[in-house]
């Protein structure tokens, strides 16, 4: 051991102030949606499983752990039965998990009741999966929550941990959560469990909400510029927020994590691929074109795409359908947060003057919202392209239920059937009775009914700020099923 036990335990004490009757100061009082999942796991882990909290760097995983610890202490759990460790600290990384457990119990004897272990950045520890599997199987008093990259689970040649842990995927903050952390005076809009409720509204309700929601538009545009990472969202200066996002989050993932976790050495090529994706956010991934543009081999680029997805910087959306043909088709790529592309490309506030760039940012933001709201319910997401290159941006599928979403964030005030040929074709072909069109202008908030060649289809045209607000709010406040 390169350091004495006293030196290492002094580090542990800094991370666990409750052992000396202290607490971590300045924890946010508001709770993200994922906090409720963690609370439910603490109360009754499904099948006795551990918890894996997975998400991008700086997305708020540590804060959620500290809030969970604070909640345990408030409910009378013995302080010495709670351990928090971050393996970003070099001494804690070197000591190893078993030695860490022995040291903890040597200085802080166990009390009655469950032991709660919160282990941050566990992926840097060798053989962590085998250790966690053993703990789940044989240490029934311990409830263990860890954070780490989901990609390491798939890439490390370890025994599978399937059935030993429950994964909670943490996205960047929703628009609703952004309003909470910024303490902005958002309009008091009525809560919704599902956007489906709006289909039963009377016309005067649409007019009323349109007027009440007008302050949301400016807040939503600032959200697209600052992003949903807590640290950048809290900065008053938008240029400083984008600088932090670019340097502290993107650069650290590309230049540090990719090397440390996955052995990537061709960092310049990886950065070029990521920059290409920023330029084509929300677009189809044309792999041959990308390879030709950057003079890279296809296996290299495919590996980079998988690693970027594994570190939660991008989402990959496959086309609607089944079979090998679909798996070989071109996917759509969405960045993990709408503010990443303008931050990396140094656009600043000029994004708001770029109609095409702003539309791409809104589509990425909306996809993240609808994915985060419903992925826990095993909803599959895809996009659809017809024979005449007509497209629907997002299709949500749960069994035989299909819900299409089309993003039309354009300056014109009214979106008509002429701009929705893909949506109409998809609904007719698959006998879908309802769909959603995400619009820009608040005055376009309404129900559109179309006679789809003998089939009646109702489309809810809903402005993006309202759609993202309600999806984020219902994620925090409700557990309503998909399109319930």
| Long-range Cβ contact pairs of 451-456 (< 8 A, separation 24 or more) | 452/424, 452/427, 452/428, 453/428, 455/427, 455/428, 455/431
Residues 98 and 242 in one domain: no
Last residue of a domain, which of 170, 204, 238? 170
Task: Examine residue 484 and state whether it is found in any structural domain, yes or no.
Answer: no
Report helix, strand or coil for 161: coil
Dihedral of CA 276/280/282/286: which sign? negative
Residues 152 and 182 in one domain: no
Residue located via tokens 């950048």: 232
pLDDT computed for residue 158 by the predictor:
45
Residues 165 and 298 in one domain: no
Closest by CA to 228, choosing from 141, 379, 336, 148, is 336
Task: Examine residue 213 and state whether it is found in any structural domain, yes or no.
Answer: yes
The boundaries of the domain holding residue 49 are 5-170
Which residues in the chain show pLDDT less than 70?
A: 1-2, 149-163, 323-327, 412-413, 478-484
Last residue of a domain, which of 141, 170, 199? 170
Residues 127 and 272 in one domain: no
Residues 282 and 226 in one domain: yes
DSSP string, 420-481: -HHHHHHHHHTT--EEEEEES-GGG-EEEEEEETTEEEEEEEEEHHHHHHHHHHHHHH--PP
pLDDT computed for residue 47 by the predictor:
78
Task: Please give the model's pTM, rounded to 2 decimal places.
Answer: 0.91
pLDDT computed for residue 482 by the predictor:
57
The CATH number that applies at residue 42 is 3.40.50.300
Residues 156 and 193 in one domain: no
pLDDT computed for residue 400 by the predictor:
85
pLDDT computed for residue 411 by the predictor:
81
pLDDT computed for residue 278 by the predictor:
95
Residues 338 and 207 in one domain: yes
Residues 12 and 60 in one domain: yes
Task: Examine residue 483 and state whether it is found in any structural domain, yes or no.
Answer: no
Residues 160 and 181 in one domain: no
Closest by CA to 402, choosing from 366, 438, 420, 428, is 428
Task: Examine residue 331 and state whether it is found in any structural domain, yes or no.
Answer: yes
Quote the CA–CA distance of 190 and 192 in Å, as a whole number.
7
Structural domain count, the chain: 2
pLDDT computed for residue 256 by the predictor:
80
Residues 136 and 26 in one domain: yes
pLDDT computed for residue 159 by the predictor:
46
Residues 128 and 190 in one domain: no
Task: Examine residue 403 and state whether it is found in any structural domain, yes or no.
Answer: yes
Last residue of a domain, which of 107, 139, 170? 170
Task: Examine residue 482 and state whether it is found in any structural domain, yes or no.
Answer: no
pLDDT computed for residue 151 by the predictor:
52
Residues 404 and 452 in one domain: yes
């Amino acid at each position: 051991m390169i350091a004495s036990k006293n030196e290492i335990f002094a580090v542990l004490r800094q991370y666990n102030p409750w052992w000396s009757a202290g607490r971590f100061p300045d924890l946010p009082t508001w709770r993200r949606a994922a906090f409720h999942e963690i609370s439910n796991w603490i109360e009754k882990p499904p099948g006795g499983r551990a918890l894996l909290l997975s998400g991008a760097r700086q997305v708020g995983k540590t804060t959620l752990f500290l809030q969970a610890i604070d909640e345990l202490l408030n409910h009378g759990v013995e302080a010495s039965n709670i351990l928090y460790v971050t393996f970003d600290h070099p001494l804690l990384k070197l000591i190893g998990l078993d030695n860490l457990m022995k040291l903890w119990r040597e200085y802080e004897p166990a009390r009655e009741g469950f032991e709660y272990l919160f282990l941050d950045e566990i992926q840097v520890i060798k053989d962590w999966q085998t250790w966690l599997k053993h703990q789940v199987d044989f240490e029934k008093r311990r409830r263990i929550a860890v954070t780490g990259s989901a990609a390491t689970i798939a890439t490390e040649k370890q025994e599978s941990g399937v059935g030993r842990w429950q994964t909670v995927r943490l996205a960047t903050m929703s628009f609703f959560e952004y309003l909470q952390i910024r303490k902005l005076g958002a309009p008091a809009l009525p809560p919704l469990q599902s956007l489906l409720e709006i289909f039963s509204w009377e016309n005067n309700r649409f007019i009323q909400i349109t007027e009440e929601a007008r302050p949301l538009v400016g807040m939503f545009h600032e959200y697209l510029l600052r992003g949903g990472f807590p640290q950048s969202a809290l900065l008053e200066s938008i240029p400083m927020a984008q600088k932090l996002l670019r340097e502290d989050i993107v650069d650290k993932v590309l230049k540090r994590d990719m090397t440390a976790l996955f052995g990537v050495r061709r960092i310049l090529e990886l950065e070029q691929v990521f920059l290409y994706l920023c330029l084509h956010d929300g677009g189809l991934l044309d792999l041959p074109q990308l390879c030709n543009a950057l003079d890279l081999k296809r296996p290299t680029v495919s590996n980079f795409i998988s690693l970027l997805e594994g570190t939660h910087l991008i989402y990959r959306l496959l086309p609607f359908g089944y079979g090998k043909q679909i798996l070989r088709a071109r996917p759509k790529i969405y960045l993990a947060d709408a503010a990443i592309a303008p931050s990396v490309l140094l656009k600043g506030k000029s994004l708001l003057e770029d109609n095409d760039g702003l539309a791409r940012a809104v589509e990425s933001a909306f996809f993240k919202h609808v994915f985060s709201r419903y992925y826990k319910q095993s909803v599959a997401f895809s996009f659809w392209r017809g024979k005449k290159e007509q497209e629907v941006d997002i299709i949500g599928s749960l069994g035989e239920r299909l819900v299409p979403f089309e993003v039309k964030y354009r300056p014109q005030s009214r979106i008509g059937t002429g701009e929705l040929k893909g949506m109409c074709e998809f609904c007719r072909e698959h006998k879908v009775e309802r769909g959603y069109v995400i619009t820009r202008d608040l005055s376009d908030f309404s129900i559109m009914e179309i006679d789809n060649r003998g089939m009646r289809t109702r489309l809810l045209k809903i402005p993006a700020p309202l759609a993202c607000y309600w999806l984020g709010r219902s994620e925090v406040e409700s557990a309503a099923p998909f399109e319930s």
